[in-house]
Amino acid sequence: MGIYGIRACLAAAPKVTPLSKILIANRGEIACRVIRSAKRLGIQTVAVYSDADRNAMHVAMADSAIRLGPAPSVESYLRQDKVLEAAFKTGAQAIHPGYGFLSENVEFAELCSKEGIIFIGPPASAIRDMGIKSTSKHIMSAAGVPVIHGYHGVDQTDEKLRHEAEKIGFPLMIKAVRGGGGKGMRIALTPSEFENQLESAKREAQKSFGDQVMLLERYVERPRHVEVQCTATPSEDHRRSTRYVGAGTVEFIMDPQQNFFFMEMNTRLQVEHPVSEMITNTDLVEWQLRVASGEPLPLDQSQIHLNGHAFEARIYAEEPKNNFLPGAGPLLHLTTPKPSSDVRVETGVAQGDVVSVFYDPMIAKLVVWSSDRPSALRKLRSCLSEYNIVGLNTNVDFLVQLSSHPKFIEGDVHTDFITQHHGDLFPSKPVTDSLVGQAVLASILNEINVSSSQQGWTSDPYSPFASYPMSRLNHSYQKNVKIMCQDNTYDVRVTSCENGLYKLKVGQSEEIDVSAKLSVSDNVTSIELSANGEISKSRVVFLNGNVHLFTKDGSVAFAMEKPSFLTSLGQGSIKQGGAVAPMPGIIEKILVKDGEEVKLGQPLLVMIAMKMEYIIRAPESGVVQKVNYKVGDSVAKNAALVRFVSTDKK
């Protein structure tokens, strides 16, 4: 949870070089965000893409696009030579790196300068000073800014890091010096965890940033993050600790006693920059473009006034109930809140697109504004209920639960909030008879609507449509349905009556009289059920024989018949999915071999998914019969990774 603000620093500007064409060295929502501001300013845009992104939204939005290479980012978006080649080929004057990928890469900023391409960001010297966490902490400490105690040295041998870790004490934070977004970051709670956590952080940092230098810090428990968005133009004031140009994000940690400590600086545009934009009525991407062309900032600090309150919710393809494991897959159905002056949907995907295993699984950023915090939070919850996705798991329901929690509403938040309130945030929600009834009647009414639109009504008693429960047929119709939800099967009996009325019986519950109406407005289908004087409403999506209900409190999926699955890994299949891929990913490291004996909890292999590292462990002792994949292989969710013989079954 962060507190976001904006600081502007003005100075005499250098010669103005208007930008007419820029290249965006990124993908997804940030690429689309930059393109929108550039187009508004009349600047032509060039997109770059990997093979996985050939039909992506940012490619469609740009004036032109250049292929970089295969799907893995190390072969495409991190290829500095390919990005520069694309800039030269298209005549782009400048490169906007967005965030992630090359945005905080010193070597790339230097290369752009050397080749005469404007890097829309701070100079390489500032990235080196402030973007590398260990260097920035030395600078801030020398300037009198409190920093967290830790080791930021150049000696990166395992022996030295172990020695420094013992001096600092546990729990301990391990961070990649060029990290960001949680990548290359681990917490070692005890000395026994240190070596494995260090190795894991290094591997992930190398994959994400091309560098595995680490720093160690005391772990501050129950902190709050306080972030400040900064933007500066060139200055001749040599008293500054670092000569910074462009946008940057300064992050602090505040402990429960409200002591502030400098944590790091991201030498790029803040991911949450829309929050600052909405409470200051600014366009910070426009500011970046103007600064890069040599123009002064549109406002100085005295002209920036905070107005109202804004929230940003990141919509992710992930499984919150499974430790927020990232996901991937098709967006078979996607409905978003309607954008307006106080509701922004920052996204790079549309219905029918695929969230790829190769990149960060963020689907969108939902940003809302209102005059005060309580009303902004209410608006956020309302908009989340209108963010309806089918095809993969998302965190939308979790965000609804989080934003409804009393402590969150009070503002009593910290980085351990989820752990502290886990039971409240992941409640066991019963499936009510009302929801079952809505799903069944919605399915029946939809079937009628589809049939009537395709065939037309008929009074022919031998027509299959004569048996549908329509009042014009002037007779009752009874249908028995089995519907499944959350591993439970419900026997439902529906009897149609006249004038759109029904008798509904769910399981052993008493039969009740209900009315139901299916309607469509703005391409959104809704079901309204009236029973016992109470009217309940839900949005509804029909897909592949399933009925998905979206209520103000979250979503529920129903299957009209129980699917049959047969998963066999051979003799001694690992229980609890230990040898099964929990998500789509790429095999990074294999830690066992065929015939090897393993113990409960022993790491079997390492997967990379969405640039994050995941260790697959043995849930019981046994013998590895066969490792089914090799390093570099792509695997689907639920793929059998290791064939395993349990010790008890040998």
Active-site positions? 268
Q: What is the distance between the alpha carbons of residues 481 and 468, in angstroms, rounded to a whole number?
A: 15
User: What secondary structure letter does DSSP report for 648?
Assistant: G
515 to 339, 469, 494, 499, 550: CA distances (angstroms)? 33, 13, 11, 9, 19
Amino acid of residue 533 = G
Chain-centre distance of CA 506, in angstroms? 37
- Contact between 452 and 260 (Cβ < 8 Å): no
- Contact between 140 and 180 (Cβ < 8 Å): no
User: What secondary structure letter does DSSP report for 461?
Assistant: T
- Contact between 110 and 124 (Cβ < 8 Å): yes
Token pair, residue 363, equals 């689907």
Amino acid of residue 589 = K
Kindly state the greatest CA–CA separation across the chain: 91
> DSSP readout, 365-385?
EEEEEESSHHHHHHHHHHHHH
627 to 566, 590, 609, 624: CA distances (angstroms)? 21, 8, 19, 7
Q: What three-state secondary structure class fits 389?
A: strand
Q: What three-state secondary structure class fits 121?
A: coil
User: What secondary structure letter does DSSP report for 600?
Assistant: T
Q: What is the distance between the alpha carbons of residues 91 and 146, in angstroms, rounded to a whole number?
A: 45
Tell me the H-state helices in 238-325.
273-280, 284-292
Q: What three-state secondary structure class fits 324?
A: coil
Token pair, residue 432, equals 């009510």
Burial class (CB in 10 A: 0-12, 13-18, 19+), 499: exposed
Q: What is the distance between the alpha carbons of residues 51 and 72, in angstroms, rounded to a whole number?
A: 9
Q: What is the distance between the alpha carbons of residues 534 and 619, in angstroms, rounded to a whole number?
A: 48
Helix, strand, coil percentages (3-state) for the chain, rounded to 5, are 30, 35, 40
Backbone angles phi, psi at 528, to 5 degrees: -120, 125
